Amino acid sequence: MEEKKFYITTPIFYANAELHLGHTYSLVLSDVLARYHRFVGDRTFFLTGSDEHGDKIVRAAQKENLGPQAFVNKNVEKAQELLKELGISNDMFIRTSDQEQHWPGATKLWYALERAGDVYKGTYKGLYCVGCEAFITEKELVEGKCPLHDAAPEQIEEENYFFKLSKYAPEIKRLLESGEFKITPRSKANEIISLIASSTAENELGDVSISRPERAIPWGIPVPNDPGQLMYVWCDALSNYLSAIGYGSSNETGFKSLWPADVQVLGKDILRFHALLWPAFLLSAKLPLPKELLVHGFVNSGGKKMSKSLGNVLMPRDFIAEYGRDALRYYLTREVSPVEDWDLTREKFKEVYNANLANGLGNLISRTLKMSEAYFGGVVEGDASRVPALRTKITAFENAGDVSGLNLPYLITNDILPRYHKHMSASEINKGADVVWELIGHLDQFVTDYEPFKLVKTDKDAAKDVIWGLLYGLREIGQMLTPIMPDTAARIAILVGASDIDGGKITFNSKAPVEPLFKRKE
């Protein structure tokens, strides 16, 4: 059987300041998916990186009395430190200022657009939003300001190279309507379809500028054969998804084996660039389109999108310092829908942490392992057939239904795991995490049903079978948490100590944790 590959990308983050929780969500969402696909055996490549050119970088560097390269180096170092703190398992970190890795691919893409006859020189006059690094129209403004950055755009007139975006709009619309070019959620695909239809009807979907004069932005990749022009940030930045895997290099083996991307994760604020400009570039260059764009919502703080320019930023390091990185990863995986906006407060985070980690998973692990150690010295041998049936109808969890009469191993194998894999393979990581916590609920109920702390006094063998079932369930929880909470998953595996797996029999050499996995926050 041919090995299945999985290539996933995050947007590359603008290197003008430290990454906040909005960026963190993109990273954790992508990391959970990458870790899941490695977990099931797919040949996985996970890319993230930094977007380092453009007007905003130059202006921000000047404010700190630094050159652009020194400025982005400082911020990239901070970003890479955060990736380590979050446990992000990226295979590569691409930098658009990397002249060896990135520039050849960006240049090759430019040449491909030229060969297709889709690049020409012209004069642009209009509005430009520095925050968006994009030209915008009057009707996009709200009270004269960019709605995303709450700032008035600049009026500019300059000679640029243009790309014939309008030429590819009908084909992009067709691919979106047919589902050949998939955007999740579907509502975002419909948004782009409507945009193309209305813009075409009003003759508004024009060609787009893909360069700016060096005198305007003296920091970027020179346009081939015209060094007085630099590639405009989106022409430069979008090509990272190709250059990182070898496009434009002397040996394109990696590119040929990995492209097209299987999932490209992005925030909804850059949807139009990825759903219009990016596929148009690829169609022009005669390259396959990514299989799926996964578009997540905004992380709001105080009811507004978290943004450095608005000053309402929450920093991931604060949550990691107080709760640990797995707690933050849990929250971003389970408590957030990948396709909707959500609001975060410190109070809500603590409430969820106490309920689901300290009192939920942590308490289940602690009391199960303490019973195993106290009653059987931590060594519990058995097999699935000896585990007694669940007695109680589980009604506290969606989809659980009536499981009375089934034993835990059967329920896990035939219900829990299939639903977990179904959701995770569909990038529904919050629903996958829900299934894990559903199993935690089953185990809690199992303790309530059989009360092994009482049963051990009257029927030690029966109590042993109950404890074995609980340890078996904890082992499965640990495995399912591997993509979501990797540190916790590794610790569960050590504490549960499954060994001597032979013919369905498993011996657990468990030990109770000295400290709680998740200390309750008062």
Positions marked catalytic: 20, 23, 129, 132, 146, 149, 305, 308
Q: Is the omega angle on the peptide bond into residue 185 within 30 degrees of 0, that is, cis?
A: yes
Distance CA 394, CA 398 (A): 9
Residue 374 CA to chain centroid, in angstroms?
Answer: 42
Coil, helix or strand at residue 389 = strand
Q: How many of the other CB atoms lie within 10 Å of CB of 25?
A: 25
- Provide the β-strand partners of residue 51: 14
Tokens at residue 256, please? Answer: 């040929």
- Nearest Cα to 141, choosing from 133, 130, 131, 129? 129
Coil, helix or strand at residue 112 = helix
Distance CA 462, CA 441 (A): 21
Residue/partner pairs of 170-178 with CB below 8 Å, 24 or more apart: 170/196, 170/200, 171/283, 172/196, 172/275, 172/276, 172/279, 172/280, 172/283, 173/197, 175/279, 175/289, 176/275
Tokens at residue 25, please? Answer: 């969500």
Distance CA 512, CA 359 (A): 16
Residue 342 CA to chain centroid, in angstroms?
Answer: 15
Distance CA 209, CA 207 (A): 7
- Nearest Cα to 385, choosing from 279, 474, 475, 465? 465
Distance CA 148, CA 11 (A): 17
> How far is residue 188 from each of residues 271, 336, 429, 443, 478, measured CA to CA in Å?
8, 18, 19, 39, 35
